[in-house]
Structure 1
Amino acid sequence: MADVLVLGGTGTTGRRVVTGLRDAGFTARAATRKAAEAGEVRFDWTDRATHAEAVRGVSAVYLLAPIGEAEPAPLVEPFLADALTAGVRRVVLLSSSAVTPDTPGLGDLQRLVRAAPEWAVLKPSWFMQNFTGEHLVAQGVRDGEIVTATGDGRVAFVDAGDIAAVAVRALTDSVPHNTEHVLTGPAALSYAEAAAIVAAHLGRPVRHRTVGTAEFAARLAASGLPAGFAGVLAALDEDIRRGTEDRVTPAVEQVTGRPARSFETFVREEIR
Structure 2
Amino acid sequence: MTAIGAGPGTTLVTGATGTTGSRIAARLTAAGHPVRAAGRKAAPVAGAEPVRFDWYDPGTHAAALDGVDRVYVIPPVGDPDPAVVVLPFLRRARAAGVRRAALLSASSIPEGGPAVGQVHRALPGIFDEWAVLRPSWFMQNFTGGHLHATSIRTEGLIRTAAGTGRVGFVDADDIAAVAVHALTDDRAPDTDLVLTGPEALSYDDIATVITEVTGRPVAHRQLSYEEVRDRLAAQMPEEFAAMLAGMDRAVAEGAEDRVTDSVQRLTGRPAGSFRALVERELRLLG
TM-score by length of 1: 0.97
> What letter matches 2:239 in structure 1?
G
In the alignment, which residue of structure 2 is the partner of 1:136? Answer: 147
**2:17 aligned residue (10, 29, 33):** 10
In the alignment, which residue of structure 2 is the partner of 1:197? Answer: 209
Q: 2 CA distance for matches of 1:239 and 1:271?
A: 30
> What letter matches 2:32 in structure 1?
G
Give the deviation of 1:138 after TM superposition.
0.3
Q: 1 CA distance for matches of 2:121 and 2:112?
A: 9
How many correspondences in the alignment? 271
In the alignment, which residue of structure 2 is the partner of 1:206? Answer: 218
Q: 2 CA distance for matches of 1:100 and 1:156?
A: 16
Structure 1 runs of 4+ aligned residues shifted over 2 Å read none
2:87 maps to 1:82? no
Question: What stretches of structure 2 of length at least 5 have no aligned partner?
Answer: 1-7
Q: 1 CA distance for matches of 2:244 and 2:253?
A: 15
**1:32 aligned residue (39, 49, 52):** 39
TM-score by length of 2: 0.93
Written as runs of structure 1 = structure 2, the 5 A alignment for 1:87-166 is 87-115=97-125, 116-142=127-153, 143-166=155-178
In the alignment, which residue of structure 1 is the partner of 2:3? Answer: none
Q: 1 CA distance for matches of 2:268 and 2:171?
A: 15
Give the deviation of 1:117 after TM superposition.
1.4
Q: 1 CA distance for matches of 2:43 and 2:203?
A: 38
In the alignment, is the contact (CA less than 8 A) between 2:131 and 2:192 conserved in 1? Answer: yes
SS across alignment from 1:146: strand
> What letter matches 1:22 in structure 2?
T
> What letter matches 1:184 in structure 2?
T
Q: 2 CA distance for matches of 1:181 and 1:267?
A: 25
Question: What stretches of structure 1 of length at least 5 have no aligned partner?
Answer: none
Give the deviation of 1:39 after TM superposition.
1.1
SS across alignment from 1:181: strand
SS across alignment from 2:103: strand
The worse-fitting range, judged by mean Cα deviation, of 106-115 and 152-161 is 106-115
Give the deviation of 1:123 after TM superposition.
0.5
> What letter matches 2:69 in structure 1?
S
Q: 1 CA distance for matches of 2:121 and 2:241?
A: 23
Report the aligned-residue RMSD.
1.0
2:51 maps to 1:41? yes
TM-superposition CA deviations, 1:13-59 (whole Å, max 9, x none):
00000011111111011100001436111000110011111011111
Instruction: State, as a whole percentage, how many aligned pairs show the same letter.
Output: 52
TM-superposition CA deviations, 1:229-248 (whole Å, max 9, x none):
11111111111111010001
